[in-house]
Structure 1
Amino acid sequence: MDRLQFEVPVRIAPVPGQPVEEIYSVEQALDLLQTWPVRRKGPTYQAAFNACFGATVDIVETEDAWRAFMAFCRVSGLLARDMMVPRKRPGEARGLRA
């Protein structure tokens, strides 16, 4: 498995009524982030962009980039309603909730 591939793809619904898209990797997440409108780039966007970019240069773990991208999608209203979020693993301090 590619080191930049997400363990669980992020399901997004960028346009209501259109098919859901799946983001499988850090590179795909960056593609979406780079096309995001400038006027809508806030702190959550910046955190997701920084995490995804950091993963490409081995500064950030892919899972951390996934979490930041998931948070961005949730805050931005992109996250598909049927997106299943894995529960925290044993020993993890906290997990994501949809």
Structure 2
Amino acid sequence: MDSLTMKEVQARVDEYISQFEEGYFDPPTLVIRLCEELGELAREVSHQFGPKKKKPGEADGDMELEIGDILFILVCLCNSRGYDLADIFRRTMEKYEVRDKDRWTRKKN
């Protein structure tokens, strides 16, 4: 699949959600779902990289899909509030690029 712009991502999620009478969940429900999905990602990270390994016979998880679930819910939250993900990302990067510009050791070219 080709790379999607953030606007395309938001539009695709909106197209999906718009086919249901219920529409977007309210912000508290979306944040609760976000926490649930973050827990699933944390469990998978722990199994793959941490001390807590899977039980014998337990199915392998998929970190990428867990990240995708988190992204989907964040897009739902943004869409439900009328937020522009591209603008949020731009503003966030500006914050990091200014605040943390000298925080880490830069690679030598």
- Which structure has the greater CA radius of gyration? 2
* TM-score, structure 2 as length reference: 0.27
By relative contact order (CA 8 Å, sep 6+), the higher-ranking structure is: 2
Identify the structure with the greater helix proportion.
2
Identify the structure with the greater strand proportion.
1
* TM-score, structure 1 as length reference: 0.29
